Amino acid sequence: MDRRLADLLQQFELERLEVNLFRGESRDIGSPQVFGGQVLGQALLAAYSTIDDLRVHSLHAYFLRRGDFNLPIVYQVDRSRDGHSFSSRRVIAIQNGAQIFTFSASFQRPEQGLEHQISMPAVPPPETLPDWSRPAPDVAARLPEKLRRFLFRERPVEMRPVEPIDFLSPKPRPPVEHIWFKVCDRLPDDHRLHACLLAYMSDFNLLNTATQPHAGKFPVDELTMASIDHAMWFHREVRADEWLLYSIDSPSASGARGFARGSVFDRDGALVASTAQEGLIRVSAPRRKAQ
């Protein structure tokens, strides 16, 4: 297995401290705080660790405080309800005795019912697209250190954006984005793991779409972004190790907050999940250069 994916899977081997208490490792992915997708995926795994044969169909979360990636995170699970068809769980993530994240999820026993879905957008297949998620070295040398640190971290997720990324001279464009993504190697056949890793990956790129109409209006290092909440609905079975299309749009930005929503499709066009997120988008005052 690819060492990057092996390291990610190690983060999803939670230590059980008590019946409803778990501890997970953190990683530095180049952002100032713990990556929100990591906390989201680990919280879902903690909840799943108290569930028998039901499958997650929805989750809702709030990010309360910045997490420190140098420290582990403790997850406390509350078994809110266990029913025949549905069960509910609440999870609190804790660091240094303080809540950094709250999470609720609902699980359902698989059953048949009515079906319909929206159509997948017509986009080029991932094999025809270059990996634009990382700039060429000559471009990277001209980027702010904060952005370089994030872009050049090795990560276990492959991403192929459909729309080209202009790192040096970004222009305003509609708040719509399409990205093919998957983990970089084959995974075991465990539906819980695939759902948790999809939750992990769903936090990449989502909020960034809300900044696209404002690209080029201010330096990247004057922008502060952080997830406030995250919601997700799982519609159909999914494999996180096969190409998935993330179709994202941002209907609104206001009050120093941006809102984005996403649809996740598999290669066959099945809508496997939907997401929604609101996050902080704050532009700081321009920094004055030393005289």
Query: β-strand 73-82 against 244-254: which pairing, if any?
Result: unpaired
Q: CB under 8 Å to 287, separation ≥6 — which residues?
A: 221, 222
Measured N-to-C along each axis, helices 191-201 and 36-48 cross at an angle, to the nearest 10 degrees, of 160
Amino acid identity, residue 85? S
Condensed to tens digits (0 to 9), the pLDDT of residues 227-236 reads 999 999 999 9
**pTM here?**
0.92
**Helix ranges restricted to H, the chain:** 3-11, 36-48, 137-140, 145-151, 191-201
The pLDDT of residue 93 is: 98
User: pLDDT tens across 170-217, in order?
Assistant: 889 999 999 999 999 999 999 999 999 999 999 999 999 999 999 877
Instruction: Please state the φ and ψ torsions of residue 63, each to the nearest 5 degrees.
Output: -95, 115
Is residue 101 within 8 Å of residue 62, measured between CB atoms? yes
Going by C-beta distance under 8 Å and a sequence separation of 6 or more, which residues neighbour residue 188?
none
3-state secondary structure 16-61: EEECCEEEECCCCCCCCCCCHHHHHHHHHHHHHCCCCCCEEEEEEE
User: 101 - beta bridge partners?
Assistant: 63, 93
Spans in the chain with pLDDT lower than 50: 288-291
Read off the amino acid at residue 199: A
Distance, in Å, from the CA atom of 275 to the CA atom of 262, rounded to the nearest integer, reads 5
Go through the domains of the chain in sequence order and give each one's CATH number: 3-109+129-283 (2.40.160.210)
Provide the annotated active-site residues. Answer: 203, 227, 277
In whole angstroms, what is the distance from residue 116 CA to residue 77 CA? Answer: 34
